[in-house]
Chain A
């Protein structure tokens, strides 16, 4: 009996953890109401959502995409077109941008039906460059290099004002919690088990009857939908977007965010996003210098702690608890 309830508790723990962290994040405006901090926190959460999509893709199915930022951009542009040209509300355009992201994600994955490994990663990069060109040149839709501006006006969602700094932050918190709960559910589902098997040994998965290519396309589509959702949240946060915001550098940043936190941890992307957004502000680094610093951090992390900072906490705890068998560190 007691072991059964303990295992049930252990199974529920991650969901409880996400909800608890969500609640803490939700209370932030009460504690630190400066709009600067709230704006940074909103950005961090949006990055966390986008990176969570990539983290699921990479950590669970073992696929790497350099087109993630491009799909994020597609979500933002779709939301902008919905608002400006179709006059749709935030809520009405959400399923559209997520749907477009879903399709875009699946399209990015299509080459994986023919190629894999190195070739495939390079192809995702090529696809992302094609998307940037389209964003830059399809001026009637995207405003070209000048980009587009969308103002939310007096819209509300969940009774919160989209135009209000603290209110919008709270909306983003709600989306983040939902996304992380869904991903947690998927990671622990039967499908999650199949995805990890494909990551570890796709040939063996195939020999057990798993349709590896189709599942790859599906997981890409899912990560695309999440990226596009984050893209729409980003548009309503920064109000105006231009193509250079979604260049391949941002894909590297998402990858860094995933890697920083730890790609096999559900909350890795959240931890990575918080570090990525807040750290430069608090040490007062210029954007260019922080780019250099994060480049160095990316290199050092992948070489020394490829499982991210969350794994370092685990390692530290082991060292503190474990018997001191090593003679000096």
Chain B
């Protein structure tokens, strides 16, 4: 196999592994937006919290499964608390909810610095080693991460499409008033999306912890990628988010590989802005009227 092709496939694989994480964050964003119309900007900080919680448990116990099993309920709990204490009062004014989430960014970031300090933290990935497949280095951890993301997204998709609970969620997203008349507990469903959305960010954090350094300030990076994916995929569209997530991951990895890592963000976000100017409701045909 040609060296160029190998390199390309290597970048593409790295991109897919990363893109699956973005898709997960975007799925959470889309779920929360689809039902509450709130742009939840503190989602990057939820990812960061998930990463720190997972890191603590992983370093303390040496069990990555336990780390994930801890991060999910902790983040779900944060989702529950934020919804009960603040977001539920903002459902009539989504802009207020958005500004609330900006305040939460400051709170979460500051709290993380108080607990874990601002110093970058790094841990060895739980799964060491790699396979060589056609000259491509496939790190075992990347495969595990990809598998986790794929399972999580598949479960989300299955629940939304095939279960009664999922049908209520879609009904509320389509028409909250009619859903209420049909006896669907709209407020509980919205609360549940905050819980699930936060938990998704938490799982994404667990994966990010295995990839590189984490600091209390990494939130903005994942916030923007999550939203870029959610918007390009079409707000409210989970399949779109999955595709756009992989797309962004690959684009980013190729840009970093061929252009150089420094300018990746400018390149990727610049492209995202242009795509959104061209097709404001996203490539996958999502719409303001959300479809989940």
A residues bordering B, Cβ < 8 Å? Answer: 64, 110-111, 114-115, 118-119, 121-123, 125-127, 129-130, 133-134, 136-137, 247-249, 252, 255-256, 259, 288-289, 291-292, 294-299, 302-303, 306
Are A119 and B276 in touch, CB under 8 angstroms?
A: yes
Closest residue to A290 on the B side, CB-wise? B110
Closest residue to A144 on the B side, CB-wise? B262
Interface residues of B in 83-106 (CB under 8 A from A): 86, 89-90, 94-96, 98-100, 102-106
Are A288 and B114 in touch, CB under 8 angstroms?
A: yes
Given contacts A129-B220, A289-B110, A292-B111, contact A119 B266 (CB under 8 A): no
Could you say which residues of chain B place their CB within 8 Å of the CB of A110? 277
Most chain B beta-carbon neighbours within 10 Å: one of A119, A289, A294: A119
Could you say which residues of chain A place their CB within 8 Å of the CB of B231? 119, 122
Tell whether B280 is near chain A: CB-to-CB under 8 Å: yes
Closest residue to A134 on the B side, CB-wise? B266
- Interchain CA distance A259-B100 in the complex, whole Å: 12
- State how many angstroms separate the Cβ of B25 from the closest Cβ of chain A: 14
Are B39 and A303 in touch, CB under 8 angstroms?
A: no
Tell whether B242 is near chain A: CB-to-CB under 8 Å: no
- Interchain CA distance A248-B105 in the complex, whole Å: 10
Are B273 and A137 in touch, CB under 8 angstroms?
A: no
Closest residue to A259 on the B side, CB-wise? B99
Interface residues of B in 240-292 (CB under 8 A from A): 262-263, 265-266, 269-270, 272-273, 276-277, 280
Could you say which residues of chain B place their CB within 8 Å of the CB of A115? 276-277, 280
- Interchain CA distance A143-B56 in the complex, whole Å: 36
Given contacts A130-B266, A289-B110, contact A114 B102 (CB under 8 A): no
Given contacts A119-B280, A122-B231, contact A295 B269 (CB under 8 A): no
- Interchain CA distance A85-B220 in the complex, whole Å: 32
Closest residue to A64 on the B side, CB-wise? B95
- State how many angstroms separate the Cβ of A63 from the closest Cβ of chain B: 11
Contact of B110 among A118, A133, A292 (CB under 8 A): A292
Q: Is the interface of A mostly helix, strand, loop or mixed?
A: helix
Could you say which residues of chain A place their CB within 8 Å of the CB of B104? 295, 299
Given contacts A129-B220, A298-B103, A303-B89, contact A288 B110 (CB under 8 A): yes
Given contacts A121-B39, A289-B114, A303-B100, contact A294 B276 (CB under 8 A): no
Are A126 and B273 in touch, CB under 8 angstroms?
A: yes
Could you say which residues of chain A place their CB within 8 Å of the CB of B94? 118
Given contacts A111-B276, A126-B273, A130-B266, contact A295 B103 (CB under 8 A): yes
Q: What are 26 pairs between A and B in contact, CB < 8 Å?
A: A111-B273, A118-B39, A118-B235, A119-B231, A119-B280, A122-B39, A126-B269, A126-B273, A129-B265, A129-B269, A130-B266, A249-B105, A252-B102, A255-B99, A259-B99, A289-B114, A291-B106, A291-B109, A298-B100, A298-B103, A299-B103, A302-B96, A302-B99, A303-B86, A303-B89, A303-B96
Tell whether B224 is near chain A: CB-to-CB under 8 Å: yes
Tell whether B165 is near chain A: CB-to-CB under 8 Å: no
- State how many angstroms separate the Cβ of A133 from the closest Cβ of chain B: 4
Tell whether B107 is near chain A: CB-to-CB under 8 Å: yes
Are B106 and A252 in touch, CB under 8 angstroms?
A: yes
Closest residue to A296 on the B side, CB-wise? B107
Nearest 10 A-B pairs (CB), nearest first? A295-B106, A298-B103, A295-B107, A292-B110, A299-B103, A291-B110, A133-B266, A115-B280, A133-B265, A295-B103
The number of chain B residues with a CB under 8 A from chain A is 41
Could you say which residues of chain B place their CB within 8 Å of the CB of A291? 106, 109-110
Could you say which residues of chain B place their CB within 8 Å of the CB of A111? 273, 276-277
- Interchain CA distance A129-B105 in the complex, whole Å: 16
- Interchain CA distance A294-B107 in the complex, whole Å: 8
Could you say which residues of chain B place their CB within 8 Å of the CB of A249? 105-106, 109
A-contact bits for B99-131, CB 8 A (1 contact / 0 none): 110111111111101100000000000000000
Could you say which residues of chain A place their CB within 8 Å of the CB of B89? 303
Closest residue to B273 on the A side, CB-wise? A126
- State how many angstroms separate the Cβ of B34 from the closest Cβ of chain A: 12
Tell whether B17 is near chain A: CB-to-CB under 8 Å: no
A-contact bits for B169-183, CB 8 A (1 contact / 0 none): 000000000000000
Tell whether B227 is near chain A: CB-to-CB under 8 Å: yes
Tell whether B228 is near chain A: CB-to-CB under 8 Å: yes
Closest residue to B90 on the A side, CB-wise? A303
Could you say which residues of chain B place their CB within 8 Å of the CB of A119? 231, 276, 280
Could you say which residues of chain B place their CB within 8 Å of the CB of A248? 220
Closest residue to B42 on the A side, CB-wise? A295
Could you say which residues of chain B place their CB within 8 Å of the CB of A297? 103
Given contacts A122-B39, A288-B113, A292-B114, contact A129 B224 (CB under 8 A): yes
- Interchain CA distance A255-B98 in the complex, whole Å: 12
Are A298 and B220 in touch, CB under 8 angstroms?
A: no
Are B86 and A299 in touch, CB under 8 angstroms?
A: yes
- Interchain CA distance A125-B272 in the complex, whole Å: 12
- Interchain CA distance A118-B31 in the complex, whole Å: 15
- State how many angstroms separate the Cβ of A232 from the closest Cβ of chain B: 24
Closest residue to A301 on the B side, CB-wise? B103
Known: A123-B273, A137-B262, A303-B86. 17 other contacts (CB 8 A): A111-B276, A115-B277, A125-B227, A126-B272, A130-B269, A130-B270, A249-B106, A249-B109, A252-B105, A255-B99, A295-B105, A295-B107, A299-B86, A302-B96, A302-B100, A303-B89, A303-B100
Closest residue to A62 on the B side, CB-wise? B95
- Interchain CA distance A240-B113 in the complex, whole Å: 25
Given contacts A255-B102, A295-B103, contact A114 B270 (CB under 8 A): no
Could you say which residues of chain A place their CB within 8 Å of the CB of B227? 122, 125-126
- Interchain CA distance A255-B96 in the complex, whole Å: 12
